Amino acid sequence: MDSTLLYIIDLFGTAIFAISGVLLAGRLKMDPFGVMVLGSVTAIGGGTIRDMVLGATPVFWITNTTYLWVIIITCILTMLIVRRPKRLPWWVLPVCDAIGLAVFVGIGVEKSLMYHESGMIAVIMGILTGCGGGIIRDVLAREIPMVLRSEVYATACLIGGVTHTVALELGTSNSSALLLGIVVTLTIRLGAIRWHLSLPTFALTK
C-alpha cells in the first residue's frame, strides 16, 4: 500500500470521526472544550489503544501532530458550520460514524500487518481501531456504546477486517485489499442503519 495514500486515508478518517464526536457533543449541548474533547477521543482514541497494544510508542499523534491539527480545525469548522445540531437529519451522525469506522478498521488492519502480526491479530486491531474511539466517546457522553448494543456494528468491522486479510492471502494488492475491506465494512454498517438490522439479544428470563 502506498504510504502517502494510506496517510491521506488515515487523516480523512480522523476528520470524519472528529465530526461525529462534535455532532454528538452538539446534541448534548456541550461547551467548546467539551466539543474538542469528544471530537478528539473519537478521532484518536482507538488508534491510541491500538498503538499501545502493538508497542508502537510513542503513539502516532505524538510523533505526527498533523493529526491533532486536523482534529482542531475539523472541530472548529464543524462548530461554525453546524449551528443547529437538533435540526440535522437523524442519519447524519450514524453515517459519519460509519464512514470513520470503515476507514479506521482498514487502517488498523494495515498497521498491524506492518508489524508482522497474524491475520487474526490484524482483524482484532482493526476492530479496536474502529470501535475504540466511539466507545470512549459514548462512555463520556453517558450513552451505551454502539458496539455493545444489538445493532450490527462490531460485526461489520469483523467481516470487513476478515475480507481485508483474506484478500491479501489470495494475492490481492495491498491497496485493493484495503479498499475492499473498507467498502465491505461501510456497506454492512450503512445497510444496518438503513434497514435497522440488529443481532439477537441475550436476555436471562426469570
Name the nearest CA neighbour of 88 among 141, 23, 34, 16.
Answer: 23
Q: HSE on the CB side for 10, CA within 13 Å?
A: 23
Residues 159, 137 contacting (CB under 8 angstroms):
no
Highest-confidence segment of 71-85, 89-103, 141-155, 180-194: 180-194
Q: What is the pLDDT of residues 159-172, one digit of tens each?
A: 999 999 999 999 99
What per-residue confidence (pLDDT) applies to 73? 97
Q: What is the pLDDT of residues 188-202, one digit of tens each?
A: 999 999 998 888 877
Q: What is the pLDDT of residues 28-59, one digit of tens each?
A: 999 999 999 999 999 999 999 999 999 998 99
What per-residue confidence (pLDDT) applies to 129? 97
What per-residue confidence (pLDDT) applies to 150? 64
What per-residue confidence (pLDDT) applies to 92? 82
CA distances from 22 to 31, 67, 111 (A): 11, 16, 26
Q: Record the pTM.
A: 0.91
What per-residue confidence (pLDDT) applies to 176? 93
Band (179; pLDDT cuts 50, 70, 90): very high
